[in-house]
Structure 1
């Protein structure tokens, strides 16, 4: 059953005849007659009684006319929705952001996105990098911000920002006056790390392994400000990207550069390799660039 034949049939009923319907559809009366006849043959019943120059619905025609109107309305609605989607007048941005750094890097971008596309819904998930990667792979998120490296066979990405990682120690720490420190020098100090779902943790632990030791972890937390307060009361040493550490200055906490050049925090927007990004997500990437 073709929408073309349904539209011709509905227009004949609306206009009360084949000739006015043909004029409305910008075609010939013959074409309209053929379309209605084709529909009748396909359905196996007569839909119109031709009475002089008028066409009147049969009982079957009443049923088909009602359903045809609904089908045409649904088709028109579908076209309208797709046009709205293409024109960014509707849709949803499904995005994941980590707690570390998002306030500085992405809050201004979210505000700009909302201003540019006010009719797009934003579905935001805030989790650690490992959880966000899993959610992208499962299709729960279109894209997410995560720390590199990621699996090249699973993800595509666009880098956003690279920062060195600094150590945070209490002012009373023996190394507090140094401008630079190695992880090996901090081996006897308890580590205050983020929760295990944060990708930065594994980067720190891998760097310690390369320097020949396994750190003693005092506590894990997902709250940046709480971690800074723990360092301020002498709980141990914490590690943060410099961009974040600068924003969390504390009178009893000293920020020291690490001498490991390989220890960097590179944040990127990631999405599933081979997956087709919706236009809402592509618009976000364009803004990030």
Structure 2
């Protein structure tokens, strides 16, 4: 069973089609299609149902996809460990960071890391926390920043805890409050991040605990845009307190959300039991120095 065929199959599933998968693995669409077909022939069963407009996983395909992600991750860990054993000094730090909070929390660490390890290449991947966890499971990155709690598949090093802040227009009827509960926001339209941002999950799960599903007025991956929408009265946005005062010039009120289990707790995570390269361990050491308090 060839690794390149497994990689092609995984990317077809992840990217939602052969053409986008081909771009990801830097191959032609026909090459990717041939690789998947070879894998199906070798395993003696179809992995994709191609009858519709979009290929979907068969039952066998679901099993192979799940196992392939782990196999590819283990292969990458093996290569990283062998690289360290050979004494290669350069190395590569493959790090995933979410857009929310990264500039404030991690930008200063990059300068310190570069000064200590000038020959290490840093490959940065940016997505929401949920997407980063998927990429981390596949072994495409070594470390990621994500919100706690995380799956037992991961180990973690705490970075920071902050309460969430509700951001609303200055003229909003609730703008005079010192603190807000989610029950106060029943019936209010919310402004959320795009799918894949863990902060959405925190807010939505808290709303459901209060017994309601909120209306979502808009979604965006841009913090400043969400703050501006809140200032224009289109709805209520949510940010960690640390981040809330650093974005946007809109006329808004920032009110601490006094709600259990809505704390923004960010950590650096890695696959449980996975080998961490010297470059990755050096980043973790720097994080521990900058944020010695446990999260």
TM-score under structure 2 length normalisation: 0.68
> 1:286 deviation in Å?
0.2
How many positions carry a matched residue from both structures?
Answer: 207
State the partner residue of 1:118: 118
Q: Secondary structure at the match of 2:255?
A: strand
State the partner residue of 1:288: 287
> 1:264 deviation in Å?
0.2
Alignment of 1:1-289 (within 5 A): 82-83=86-87, 85=88, 89-152=89-152, 154-248=153-247, 250-289=249-288
Q: Confirm or deny: 8 A CA contact 2:162 2:264 kept in the other structure.
A: yes
User: In structure 2, how many angstroms separate the alpha carbons of the residues matched to 1:79 and 1:96?
Assistant: 21
> 1:251 deviation in Å?
4.8
- The runs of 5 or more residues in structure 1 that have no matched partner are 1-77
State the partner residue of 1:47: none
User: In structure 2, how many angstroms separate the alpha carbons of the residues matched to 1:275 and 1:92?
Assistant: 16
Q: Confirm or deny: 8 A CA contact 2:227 2:250 kept in the other structure.
A: no
> 1:94 deviation in Å?
0.3
User: In structure 2, how many angstroms separate the alpha carbons of the residues matched to 1:211 and 1:189?
Assistant: 14
Q: Confirm or deny: 8 A CA contact 2:228 2:250 kept in the other structure.
A: no
Deviations 1:128-185 (A, max 9, x none): 0011001110000001000011111x10001100000010000110000110111111
Q: Secondary structure at the match of 1:283?
A: helix
Q: Secondary structure at the match of 1:114?
A: helix
User: In structure 2, how many angstroms separate the alpha carbons of the residues matched to 1:132 and 1:258?
Assistant: 26
Deviations 1:77-136 (A, max 9, x none): x999923x3xxx301000000000000000000111011111000000010001100111
Greater Rg over alpha carbons, structure:
1
Alignment RMSD: 1.6
